[in-house]
Structure 1
């Protein structure tokens, strides 16, 4: 990813309220990017959704297939 692409992505996350840029306490040239409360909630929700999806796949295809990443969508 280019620096320009990363900056655009961070700007969009800021616009949506998921991240914010804060000044570095030791270097005025640096802006630190951090998640907001909303950003942390989104990460938690995504982790829960992924865990639920993996559990669904385990029940349908078995743990071994999921671990080998051999689960394929139906054709």
Structure 2
């Protein structure tokens, strides 16, 4: 049986990565993601989202420390 073509786009990938990051990914959506023929887009999106989160936390800490120094 042939797999149906992957219908995911950038928005769907980003939604899946963010939902998984916050732990609210549904079982149905998780199965869809793991049956995808293109896992690299999830890996890349996950790395980008994780890097953006780390940068955000660093900037938040820097801002908070600058408030204390003033």
Give the structure with the higher percent helix. 2
Give the structure with the higher percent strand. 1
TM-score (norm 2): 0.41
**Which protein is bigger by CA-based radius of gyration?**
1
TM-score (norm 1): 0.38
